[in-house]
Chain A
């Protein structure tokens, strides 16, 4: 057996192709790792919507519906009002698992990114690959959620082609932001719980998720305005049951989600590159 004197396996052409596809190789690796967690991903994907829809959608919903009468919020049953917010929130929560943990692991825990960096792959491609693989989780979570919503009668068939894409956009955009935020973490002690407490929870509670944002005092409404969850939820309500939404607001919300995503991935790429070359 000869280990080092065999014919070279790569040529400049092969090298260039490999260098171009780096992000896909990283995504391939991430999907392989995620496959090992498939049971908990599936349990989370199914359990989350069933629990929320039963407890809040049906439970709290029966109180809301009884109080507001047949007109409900926006003239629809509470469950229908709630559905676009929940599916978007699920997409955003799901993506965080596939962004924060692998990023902390790659830089700090087992330092896998430094192993990748010794190959033709660049730091920017590692960031891209993580987001590509995370999008698989977003799509899975969103589609499962949508089917559960359908089973509960919270959405109609037509929303498959409108609500699902909006939730996926929100997930990707938020994933890119979290990727940029996690890329600079040097000391992970408490980072995740801190992020949960001061960013995720307030966002979930104050983004017009459970009631229209306008019912909150103005002093805290700004949380909703900067929250991608609120923008995506508004779009979702407009698409799902025809909530009134002026065209300019549609444009602003779509642009906001796109901009967050683009800025997120650009900053993430730069931070990955820098952290792996200095």
Chain B
């Protein structure tokens, strides 16, 4: 469905995307994980055929976006980072108008819009103006809008950023249903839990480059230990204590507010720390996540910048 090699986007003296390679197959749910400014959105816009690449090869649905942009866009569904529905129109009108941009006839759009309203759980909001919707509803409307043309690939840029936990879970549930239906999804996110929920396979981007690629589980296996112990001694003492317990796990990361100890056996490691006479203010033993993978690969947390 998508094939990129050496894909590069340069603005004057700034390289936003620096020669990346990846492929996405039909029915796959592909994630691009990285902090803000890693080049995720730029990559998405190049795939969406709304931003021309500087160099490298890019094929979407077998076509070159520099030459056949409109023909590619006709078969993509795009959910941008920022909702951009028309505030003057109702929920239903937004879907209708957007469908018209694809040249779709009324006879197709009317039943299609009913389906999409049901999917987005917005049936009783169909004649409501956008202003009156909650953030989660607006997001679901934008996703429904992205499906109006029955796209071959649905592209979601930070689909749940800025939503409250409940709204995020409703949205993940909807997206998961699409995945079960066989949709090809491309998702960018800087939330590791989102990537773990939605993506079959993902790449980790940092400063315009791909620094790792794999399934969420394989990345965790490769770049992190099985478990993590998080201990806090108070911001002044973390750096001071860290070297004294560094030998307990396989690896230690010192963050401003806590120390992370990567280990196969979390509880035992925690006991070992306490046994040395260091009593943490708070402690937590958890499974490793993509957040840890990212920290390992880039030395920064995802929420940084």
- Interface residues of chain A, those whose CB is within 8 Å of chain B, are 1-6, 8-10, 12, 14-19, 21-22, 25-26, 28-29, 32-33, 36, 110-112, 114-122, 276-278
Q: Which residues of A contact B93 (CB under 8 A)?
A: 32
**A144 nearest CB across to chain B (Å):** 23
- Interface residues of chain B, those whose CB is within 8 Å of chain A, are 48, 50-52, 69-71, 73-76, 78, 80, 82, 84-89, 93, 97-98, 100-104, 108, 115-116, 118-119, 145, 147, 149-151, 154, 177-178, 181-183
Given A3-B115, A3-B183, CB of A120 within 8 Å of CB of B80: no
Interface of A: prevailing SS: helix
CA gap between A122 and B71 in the complex, in Å: 11
Given A1-B119, A110-B85, CB of A29 within 8 Å of CB of B100: yes
Q: Is the CB of A5 within 8 A of B181?
A: yes
Given A4-B147, A110-B86, CB of A9 within 8 Å of CB of B108: yes
Given A15-B74, A111-B82, A118-B80, CB of A3 within 8 Å of CB of B103: no
Q: Which residues of B contact A115 (CB under 8 A)?
A: 80, 84-85, 98, 145
Contact of B78 among A4, A21, A111, A118 (CB under 8 A): A118
Given A4-B183, A32-B89, A277-B51, CB of A19 within 8 Å of CB of B100: no
Given A29-B97, A120-B101, A121-B70: 16 more A-B contacts, CB < 8 Å: A3-B147, A4-B181, A10-B149, A15-B70, A15-B71, A19-B70, A21-B103, A29-B100, A32-B89, A111-B84, A112-B84, A115-B80, A118-B80, A120-B70, A120-B74, A120-B103
Closest residue of chain B to A117, judged by CB?
Answer: B50
Closest residue of chain A to B147, judged by CB?
Answer: A3
**B301 nearest CB across to chain A (Å):** 30
CA gap between A28 and B89 in the complex, in Å: 13
Q: Is the CB of B86 within 8 A of A119?
A: no
Closest residue of chain A to B97, judged by CB?
Answer: A29
Q: Is the CB of A3 within 8 A of B181?
A: yes
Q: Which residues of A contact B115 (CB under 8 A)?
A: 1, 3
Q: Is the CB of A122 within 8 A of B70?
A: yes
Q: Which residues of A contact B104 (CB under 8 A)?
A: 9-10, 18
Q: Which residues of A contact B101 (CB under 8 A)?
A: 22, 25-26, 29, 116, 119-121
